[in-house]
């Protein structure tokens, strides 16, 4: 079975791309077939970390329908069994990914012939990123041990859960409207959270309400603490876990603790990934452990999600794409 591993973060610059590249290599070294996909639209730099020249066509060609499939865009890498789909400059990161292209990308990602498909996403909670993150119930959220990164990781988790709840119901359904009303009326501190809303929906619509509760239950993102230095970091990590449990009723699993390591970034600067150049570095060793855990505890499938309402703006953007 193929596993999608989206890698996201609330705050930028926390080490997603470096992790994606080195984790891909570590998994391939464990004899898994891996595809790394650069989905940081507008900010793609995974090729640099892998030491690949930016002369291949990438995901923009699929978005603009110049390539028929994602498989067509696969590039071989120095590492056996590791393939790469570049992001590219064609697509501006400020533009919203056209809705139907996003669905097409997700469908094709799920069909790529590999054991693991790793998605390097942009930072923050845009719908593009969240919808790509929701391709797996146990994607990775990367954070560093500083308060802003931790708070942003929490916001990202919360936004993902809200989007997951909305997309558990068909567009224009009564259930979807109840969620929408809740979001509009929500006053901070009010004693009504997404779980009480699910309960309310369940009393009105037992079947679809139970399915949504299941989807939320299955959703268990895994956290990577990167650039760790001290024991104090562990306390910050526990705080994130505590807030997620008490406010969102989600048990976060910490899947890796990656140390701050000068050799980690140096590999990227030298255009040769850390895992190849400095295989004995503390960073490489920690990433290998993370890979081993992913192999041991692969993620379950994501429950079916319905499309979001295609709003007029997105349709207009689709039109612009067609017109290019
Ligand atoms: N464990 C680490 N030790 C030392 N440096 C690190 C570590 N992890 C990442 N870095 C460095 O931090 C910087 C940011 O890393 P990276 O580009 O992977 O972050 P990102 O989350 O992908 O950023 P963006 O949000 O811009 O996509 C890079 O210079 C990288 O080499
Ligand atoms: Mg990045």
pLDDT at residue 95, as a whole number: 62
> From atom 5 of ligand 1, which residue's Cα is the shortest distance away?
265
**Cβ 43 under 6 angstroms from ligand 1:** yes
Q: pLDDT at residue 74 above 60?
A: yes
Residues 6+ apart with CB under 8 A from 310: 99
277 CB contacts (<8 Å, ≥6 apart)? Answer: 263, 266, 267, 270
Residue with tokens 């290998």: 288
The 10s digit of each residue's pLDDT in 282-305 is 999 999 999 999 999 877 777 778
Strand partners, 254: 223
Residue 228 Cα: closest atom of ligand 1:
1
Q: Nearest-CA neighbor of 211 among 157, 239, 173, 238?
A: 173
Question: Distance from the CA of 136 to the center of ligand 1, in angstroms?
Answer: 23
For atom 12 of ligand 1, the residue with the nearest CA is 15
Residue 220 has a pLDDT of: 93
Distance 46 CA to ligand 2 centre (A): 7
The rounded Å distance from CA 257 to ligand 1 centre is: 14
pLDDT of amino acid 92:
64
Span from the CA of 229 to the centroid of ligand 1 (angstroms):
15
Alpha carbon of 218 to ligand 1 centroid (Å): 29
Nearest residue to 120 via CA among 129, 111, 110: 129
Name the residue with tokens 């990161």. Answer: 93
For 44, the domain range is: 3-323
Proximal ligand: closest to the CA of 140:
1
The residue whose C-alpha atom lies closest to atom 25 belonging to ligand 1 is 12
Is 9 near ligand 1, meaning CB less than 6 Å away?
yes
* pLDDT number for residue 98: 78
Q: How far is the CA of 240 from the centre of ligand 1 (A)?
A: 21
Is residue 322's pLDDT more than 60?
no
pLDDT in tens, 208-248: 999 999 999 999 999 999 999 987 888 888 899 999 999 99
Average pLDDT over residues 56-64: 87
pLDDT tens digits for range 166-213: 999 998 899 999 998 888 876 555 667 888 999 999 999 999 999 999
Threshold 0.85, pTM exceeds: yes
* CATH number of the domain residue 41 falls in: 3.40.50.300
Neighbours of 313 (CB within 10 A): 10
Is the shortest distance between the CB of 123 and ligand 1 below 6 Å? yes
Residue 75: what pLDDT?
A: 95
DSSP 10: S
206 CB less than 6 Å from ligand 1?
Answer: no
Kindly report the length of the chain: 324
User: How does residue 85 score in pLDDT terms, banded at 50, 70 and 90?
Assistant: very high
In degrees and rounded to multiples of 5, residue 8 shows phi and psi of -130, 175
The pLDDT of 39-63, averaged and rounded, is 89
- Mean pLDDT across the chain: 88
129 pocket-lining for ligand 1 (C-beta < 6 Å): no
CB atoms within 10 A of CB 53: 8
Position 68 pLDDT exceeds 70: yes
* pLDDT the model gives residue 321: 43
Q: What is the pLDDT of residues 250-288, one digit of tens each?
A: 989 899 999 999 999 898 888 899 999 999 999 999 999
Q: pLDDT (tens digit, 9 = 90+) per residue, 115-158?
A: 999 999 999 988 889 999 999 999 999 999 999 999 999 999 99
Token pair in block for residue 101: 């292209």
| DSSP line for 61-93 | HHHTTSSS-SGGG-EE-SSTTEEEE---TTS-T
Q: In the block, which residue shows the tokens 């499939």?
A: 69
| pLDDT tens per residue, range 247-258 | 999 989 899 999
Q: Which ligand is nearest to the CA of 226?
A: 1
Band (319; pLDDT cuts 50, 70, 90): very low
What pLDDT does 125 receive?
87
Position 186 scores a pLDDT of: 63
Residue 260 CA: which ligand 1 atom is closest?
A: 3
Q: How many domains does the chain have?
A: 1
């Amino acid at each position: 079975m193929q596993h999608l591993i989206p890698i996201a973060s609330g705050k930028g610059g926390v080490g997603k791309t470096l992790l994606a590249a080195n984790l891909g290599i570590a998994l391939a070294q464990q004899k898994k077939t891996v595809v790394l996909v650069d989905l940081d639209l507008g900010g793609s730099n995974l090729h640099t970390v892998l030491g690949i020249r930016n002369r291949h066509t990438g995901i923009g060609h699929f978005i603009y329908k110049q390539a028929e499939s994602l498989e067509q865009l696969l590039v071989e890498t120095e590492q056996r069994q590791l393939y790469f789909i570049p992001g590219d400059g064609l697509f501006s990161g400020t533009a919203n990914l056209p809705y139907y292209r996003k669905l097409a990308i997700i469908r094709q990602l799920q069909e790529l012939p590999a054991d693991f498909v790793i998605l390097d996403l942009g930072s923050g909670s845009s719908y593009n990123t969240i919808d790509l993150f929701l391709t797996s119930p146990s994607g990775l959220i990367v954070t560093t041990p500083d308060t802003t990164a931790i708070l942003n990781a929490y916001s990202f988790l919360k936004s993902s859960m809200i989007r997951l709840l909305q997309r558990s119901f068909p567009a224009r359904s009564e259930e979807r409207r109840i969620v929408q009303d809740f979001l509009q009326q929500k006053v901070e501190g009010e004693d009504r959270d997404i779980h009480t809303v699910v309960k309310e929906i369940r009393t009105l619509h037992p079947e679809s309400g139970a399915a949504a509760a299941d989807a939320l239950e299955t959703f268990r993102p895994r956290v990577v603490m990167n650039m760790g230095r001290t024991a104090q970091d562990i306390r910050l990590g526990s705080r994130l876990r505590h807030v997620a449990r008490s406010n969102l009723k989600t048990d976060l699993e910490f899947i890796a603790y990656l140390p701050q390591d000068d050799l980690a970034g140096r590999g990227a600067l030298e255009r040769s990934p850390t895992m190849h150049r400095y295989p004995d570095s503390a960073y490489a060793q920690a990433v290998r452990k993370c890979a081993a855990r992913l192999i041991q505890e692969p993620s379950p499938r994501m429950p079916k999600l319905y499309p979001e309402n295609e709003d007029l703006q997105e349709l207009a953007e689709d039109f612009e794409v067609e017109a290019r």
